[in-house]
Amino acid sequence: MSGELSPIDKAKFVAAKKAVEYVEDGMRVGLGTGSTAAWMVRCLGEMVREDGLKIRGVPTSARTAALARDVGIDVVSLDEAKWLDLTIDGADEFDGEFNLIKGGGAALLQEKIVATASDRMVVISDVSKEVETLGAFPLPVEVIPFGWQTTKALIEEMLDSLDVLGQTTSLRMNGAAPLFTDEGNHIVDLHLNRIGNARQVAMVLNQIPGVVENGLFVDICDTVVVGYGDGRVQVRDINENAVSEDRLEFVESENLFSDLGD
C-alpha cells in the first residue's frame, strides 16, 4: 500500500513516523490538526494497538479527537491533563528560527493553547513548508463573529504600520457561508507575502479588539522534523543547536495506510 503514496505523502509519513519516537509510555501528548498531523495520530494509534503504548492524547480539534478515538488513543481534555509532556503538530510554514505560521486547518487557537501548555513542541513537516521569511502562506487570524467587519478593517489599518509586503485580507469561507471554527469564531486570512518581524506582528494583532488569536507561533517550537519523498528525514533541534539525519524504510504491510482519509 505504501507504494501508492505520492512523494509528498511519503514525506509527511516519514516525518510523522520519526516524530512519534519522542513519545514514551505514560506521556500526555498534544495531538495536532491537519494532513501531516493525521499521519502522526495514525502512527501513535498503531503503537497503542500493537506495542501496548499507554498515553493520554489532548486533541487540538474535533476532527483530530474523532481520529484519535478511532485509532484507539485515550483522549482527554487539556483541563484533565493539566500540562503536557509533548505536542506534535504540523505547520503551514516554518523559518530558520522555528517561527511558524499555522491555522490552515482553522484550528490555530486550540493548537496554540495546547502547544504552549507543553514541555516540548515538535513540528512535523515536508520540506516544501520551509521558507526564508514567513508570509507566502496567508496568515490566519481568528476573530469573533460580532463586528467581524470592523475587526477586519482595524486589522487592515494596523498593517500600514508593520513590516509586511502585502495588505490584502479575506474572510475564510466554507462554501457560500463564512467558516466557523470549533469555538464558533471566524478566520480572517492576511495575504502579507512577507513578514519582516513576526514577533511584532503577532503582538500587535492580539491587541485589536475582536481578535481572539493569530497563527504566528513564535518561540514555541523546539524541534522540527522534516520529511522527504525518498524516505529521508532530518531532525533539527533549536535548543541543542543540532541537526541529525535518518532514512526510514516503507513497509508494504503498514495497515495504517489502508483507511487514511486525510
29 and 65 together in one domain:
yes
96 and 152 together in one domain:
no
For residue 246, give the 3-state DSSP assignment.
strand
Q: Is residue 132 part of a domain?
A: no
Number of structural domains in the chain: 2
51 and 18 together in one domain:
yes
Task: Determine the pLDDT at residue 4.
Answer: 77
209 and 223 together in one domain:
no
Structural domain harbouring 183: 139-213
Consult the annotation and say whether 89 binds a ligand.
yes
Read off the pLDDT of residues 161-208 as tens digits, 9 standing for 90 and up. 999 999 999 999 999 999 999 999 999 999 999 999 999 999 999 999
Mean pLDDT for the chain overall? 94
209 and 146 together in one domain:
yes
Consult the annotation and say whether 147 binds a ligand.
no
Q: Is residue 203 part of a domain?
A: yes
Task: Determine the pLDDT at residue 251.
Answer: 62
Task: List the CATH number of the domain containing 251.
Answer: 3.40.50.1360
Q: Is residue 178 part of a domain?
A: yes
The catalytic residues are: 111
Integer CA distances (angstroms), 203 to 34, 167, 218, in order: 25, 17, 10
Q: Is residue 133 part of a domain?
A: no
Task: List the CATH number of the domain containing 191.
Answer: 3.30.70.260
d(CA 216, CA 7): 28
201 and 225 together in one domain:
no
d(CA 57, CA 32): 10
Read off the pLDDT of residues 102-120 as tens digits, 9 standing for 90 and up. 999 999 999 999 999 999 9
Consult the annotation and say whether 82 binds a ligand.
no
Q: Which residues contact residue 76 at a Cβ distance below 8 angstroms, ignoring those fewer than 6 apart?
A: 28, 56, 57, 58
